[in-house]
Homo-oligomer: A and B are copies of this chain.
Amino acid sequence: MDNLIDGRRIAATIHSETVARVGQLKDSGVTPGLVFIRVGEDPASRVYVGMKERKCHDLGIHSSTLVLENDTSQSHLLGVLEEYNQDPRVHGILVQAPLPRHMDETVVYATVNPSKDVDGFHPVNVGKLMLHQPGGFLPCTPAGVHELLIRTDCPLEGAEVVVLGRGNIVGKPMASMLMQKSKNANATVTLCHSRSRNIAEHCRRADVIIAALGVPEFVTEDMIKPGAVVIDVGVNRISDPGSKTGSRLVGDIDFHAVQPKAGAITPNPGGVGPMTIAMLMRNTVIAAEQQTLDITGPDA
């Protein structure tokens, strides 16, 4: 069935747009620069940062990674951030989650200069998203979902959208993006979560379902309207005695059952994941453009 939303292909298109913008920056003497900060040796964080570093390399974005010991003090990390905030070669700063327990994520993310906050986690960028003000950075995963919907011509104007999950990284910003008074939004959004009653009923009336709950295969075939667009943001590890490692990754959607009924659906992997990195790369180039307007502007 050809109702798959090919995140890899769409991400590749966005990457080619980003490469063109990197070229323009370099023609003006600017190499976009992104710094990754990892604290400790969380295995998943190593993998994620490694993937992002390789993509920077592929696109011509300069990147470097600072790895701090797990017992680094928060004040040391904040001092490091202040230095990068001041460094004109660094246009984007990404502090990879999770942080050690002795650190306060809220304080750490709020210390990143909002104009270098390519993750879109700083309160001022979240506020600009909600107020629909320009000039902020959109968080990468929901921005990537939005691009998937736009670039597959999914009708959003007046559409019934159900967002499952109210996390700060996906659910809440996703809802905020799609409800705005804007050409590519104007949806009627319902946000469901762990305390919601009647989630299945909400889903059954939805034109678009975006699942970011973190519950393996939560959305089943009986919960969707025929023809609905279904986006799977979930990444859940479940045990699988038959596999080599004893476990495997599944999304929040029961993909095989839902696909035949859906109008369009993201595979997982190969749907939302590649878009998150594409948005991070684009945000980094936007940051470099904004910070070097004096150089790249028409009066240079």
Q: Name A residues whose Cβ lies closer than 8 Å to a Cβ of B.
A: 106, 122-133, 136, 157-158, 160, 166, 168, 172-173, 175-176, 179-181, 186, 188-198, 202
- Chain B residues lying within 8 Å of A136, measured Cβ to Cβ, are 123
* Residue numbers in B under 8 Å from A188 (CB-CB): 190-193, 195-198, 202
Q: CA A123 – CA B130 in complex, angstroms?
A: 8
Residues in B with CB closer than 8 Å to A175 are 179, 191
User: Main secondary structure on chain A at its contact with chain B?
Assistant: mixed
8 Å CB contact of A123 from B127, B181, B186, B202? B127
Minimal beta-carbon separation of A180 from chain B (angstroms): 8
Ordered by A's residue number, 19 sampled pairs between the chains whose C-beta atoms are within 8 Å are A106-B131, A122-B127, A123-B125, A125-B127, A126-B130, A126-B131, A127-B130, A130-B173, A130-B176, A158-B195, A158-B196, A166-B180, A179-B193, A181-B194, A186-B195, A188-B190, A188-B192, A188-B193, A188-B198
Picked from B125, B168, B176, B197, the residue with its CB within 8 Å of the CB of A158 is B197
- 6 shortest interchain CB distances as A-B pairs: A123-B127, A127-B127, A126-B127, A186-B195, A190-B190, A188-B196
Q: Which residues of B contact A191 (CB under 8 A)?
A: 175, 179, 188-189
